[in-house]
Structure 1
């Protein structure tokens, strides 16, 4: 492992890597869940966490420039201390880095208002595999051919090392209004969310929980006995705008049969939203995993029903629950949690693989995407050709041009592995 303190240090490492045929992996804090930073062939790890500073806050253009290895929570707290927010709150914020957000094309919990990381990042500095340092200057927009910036957002370290980023920032909101709503079923809840987004409202948070996920969060609350599906809505910003958005949203909510419920579950979530929930189950021998996909609204309800049935067909005792936490005018992220009961690995691992297979395939069969914000890493690689088709060949061609010896994080994103790479099941 090397721990560079500057882009110049990283450039020297990359030059040394190429000159000596040494494979490398750029790493922030390895909070990803799909093996994007797992060494497969004795790679040298480039630890970026010494690049951990905010370099400049531009209060006129509402921009911040930050080094890639800065911890996400420290970054947001530093902005908050002077009245700003980046608007990007992934569950991993306390254990991830700003550069990792961009490298993995992440999404935060307030994405309906502030956008995903690709909407927030406006400039990058990258060290290429040959050691060249490239700057993509921050601009509000440019029309100079394909976006070079977007080649690196979501590249998961296979095309070079992101060292510095410029992001949009916003003033902390004047007011925040939170709501909890109970619906009769998922179809009503999703319809309300769709109509809210299509009405050009921009809630900071939209979270819909199916009945399985709602039950554990609303025990003893009468509002959910006849309406077992829960939604969180949150509006933030200027007082007058929040009031107007809330009024329009509530008209839609009521037209879909929604009923306002106490804020207890929302407040509990705010207290624990950056904490992993898996530990208490894995300690008891359960195997817990999550799969997030994207689905268009016209196929979402049917796809959800099929996915639930398909998982239950693999193991009738599995816990399967879904929530929808990133919504758009034309579709939503469906985030599924499954929990296999305690069993021997020789039984559990094939079932785990079968669940992944069926969920990924059903996402594609229903006009969706295999991933919304967790990315690809090594585990999702085998489905990339099915999603991108010849587009994956294009990504491989870019990789081959920048890194002809395949030295930088080989075998990730569904791209070509090194000849001596360890094979990982899945």
Structure 2
């Protein structure tokens, strides 16, 4: 292929493919075949946004937050990805890696006709290493299919997010995700031990899966969580665990949120290894415990699941019961937990969106010393925004030093010209107060597009370091521009242009 095969494309904002993009499509078809180059507008429209609630709000009005991708490419191998990236670099056409669009922060939204790399054809487990408890898998494999295949061999990935069945393994690593059993197995950055990834210059980075290193800063940690801004992950090596032989689920009714947080803190700081810890505030508890007398006087619920070898499970369950009694908790039937587990991979947000509501979720982390105050402060300020504004929270990822507070915020159906500014203010309150309380603005959803404005507040001087790394690795700003607080390319659309516009007339 010569440079004559590649011409600089225009940045299509939508509509039919630009003439120059046809030239680029021809060049890419030589690498992956014409059937794997999607050029039709209807096909590209399916990649225009992920599950970012703000984008779905706008889609209800027939509007896009960003643009259509200029092309959608479906590679099958790491070598094909590397060749496509080289073509894109020569054409100076930016690239966005795409898993299955399950993200909720706009991380895959094109802002200027970027070329989308759909990784879902790279969907195979390459090796299960039972000697070292490792699995090597392609980045585009569906999370549910991955876990099912491991279960059939007697193993689990330990990474079970709500989005399990609609996400990819590569997407987990790209956004530094966390599963519902993170208190036992860790988040994805604790599970990934090796990878292959394509850099913006087309070179392939390979990190060998070893137990530990003391050879300078971790390159693995630089890539995991970079959301396609520094590299396109094509293959991962992850830890796996034998499926536990025993399990015991405990459900407690507690008098206050503070008591529930104290229980979780005690469990984790004692060194127990629960599979699941889920604490619910009064609002979220009520919806799950209707008709259960124990919760009339104790309106806060905690679910604690112990797993492993039977003697260890029995011993840990006995310790948890002792801790629960010390905070005036009462053990109840496991019905609420059983109901949650039966529907653990179903998104609640979509159910509200389908009814015309403005529903969003924000997950942050904070140390134990600030957990109760953070909840109270955000709840009070959100309540002042609108008489029907909903705020609730649960705590479903707990650690020795602190906790993830997972908040649900909702407005009733109303005109978007009124709803969007309030929604924006909700985010400002939740994120600003998290930083003011010494917390982190994200636990497992990543940062994508929507959290970009707060990345400097999150990292401080560290954000300058990240920008310099981005500029050194990707001087063309080729990979996923405008995400993670990195700058967009010239000519990019403003994704928030409708917050202050007359959105009633789209």
> Smaller-chain TM-score range?
over 0.9
Give the structure 2 partner of residue 294 of structure 1: 365
The alignment status of 1:150 with 2:221, answered yes or no, reads: yes
Q: Distance in 1 between matches of 2:121 and 2:351?
A: 33
Q: Distance in 2 between matches of 1:2 and 1:224?
A: 53
The alignment status of 1:240 with 2:314, answered yes or no, reads: no
The alignment status of 1:406 with 2:446, answered yes or no, reads: no
Give the structure 2 partner of residue 31 of structure 1: 102
**By how many angstroms is 1:134 displaced?**
1.1
Q: How many residues align?
A: 426
Written as runs of structure 1 = structure 2, the 5 A alignment for 1:25-424 is 25-424=96-495
Deviation track 1:142-169 (CA, whole Å, cap 9, x = no partner) reads 1100000000010000001001000000
1:16 to 87, 102, 114: 87
Q: Distance in 1 between matches of 2:407 and 2:283?
A: 11
Cα RMSD after superposing both structures: 0.8
Deviation track 1:299-356 (CA, whole Å, cap 9, x = no partner) reads 1111111110010011131121100000011110000001111211011000000010
Deviation track 1:81-114 (CA, whole Å, cap 9, x = no partner) reads 0101111000000000001000000000000100
Write out the 4+ residue segments of structure 1 that deviate beyond 4 Å after TM superposition. none
Q: Distance in 1 between matches of 2:349 and 2:94?
A: 33
**By how many angstroms is 1:393 displaced?**
1.2
**By how many angstroms is 1:282 displaced?**
2.4
Between 1 and 2, higher relative CO (CA 8 Å, sep ≥ 6) is seen in: 1
Q: Distance in 2 between matches of 1:20 and 1:342?
A: 45
The answer for unaligned runs of 5 or more in structure 1 is none
Q: Distance in 1 between matches of 2:89 and 2:436?
A: 42
The answer for unaligned runs of 5 or more in structure 2 is 1-71, 500-506
Q: Distance in 2 between matches of 1:387 and 1:44?
A: 29
Computing the radius of gyration from Cα coordinates, the structure with the larger value is 2
Q: Distance in 2 between matches of 1:255 and 1:302?
A: 22
Q: Distance in 2 between matches of 1:259 and 1:265?
A: 14
Secondary structure at the aligned position of 2:268 is classed as helix
Give the structure 1 partner of residue 59 of structure 2: none
Secondary structure at the aligned position of 2:331 is classed as strand
Secondary structure at the aligned position of 2:93 is classed as coil
Q: Distance in 2 between matches of 1:77 and 1:382?
A: 38
Q: Distance in 2 between matches of 1:76 and 1:399?
A: 33
Secondary structure at the aligned position of 1:176 is classed as strand
**By how many angstroms is 1:262 displaced?**
1.1
TM-score of the two chains, using structure 1 as the length reference? 0.99
